[in-house]
Amino acid sequence: MRNLADFIHHMEGGDQNFTIWVHDSNKRYKKLLVSDCKSINLNDFLENQLNVIVEITALDGSNQAYLLLPEINAASTISFDNGEVISYIDAKAA
* Tens-digit pLDDT profile for residues 16-70: 778 888 888 887 888 885 555 666 677 777 887 778 898 888 778 788 999 998 8
Q: What is the pLDDT of residue 93?
A: 47
β-bridge mates for residue 66, sequence order = 54, 77
What's the domain count of the chain? 1
What are the start-end ranges of the E strands in the chain?
A: 2-3, 17-23, 29-31, 52-57, 63-69, 74-81, 84-88
- Asked, for residue 37, whether it belongs to a domain, the answer is yes
Distance CA 88, CA 69 (A): 13
- Asked, for residue 93, whether it belongs to a domain, the answer is no
Distance CA 14, CA 24 (A): 28
Q: What is the pLDDT of residue 94?
A: 47
- Asked, for residue 63, whether it belongs to a domain, the answer is yes
Residues 65-85 pLDDT 10s = 999 988 889 999 999 988 888
Return phi, psi of residue 76, to 5°. Answer: -105, 130
Banded model confidence at residue 4, pLDDT cuts 50, 70, 90: very high
* Residue 72 belongs to domain spanning: 2-88
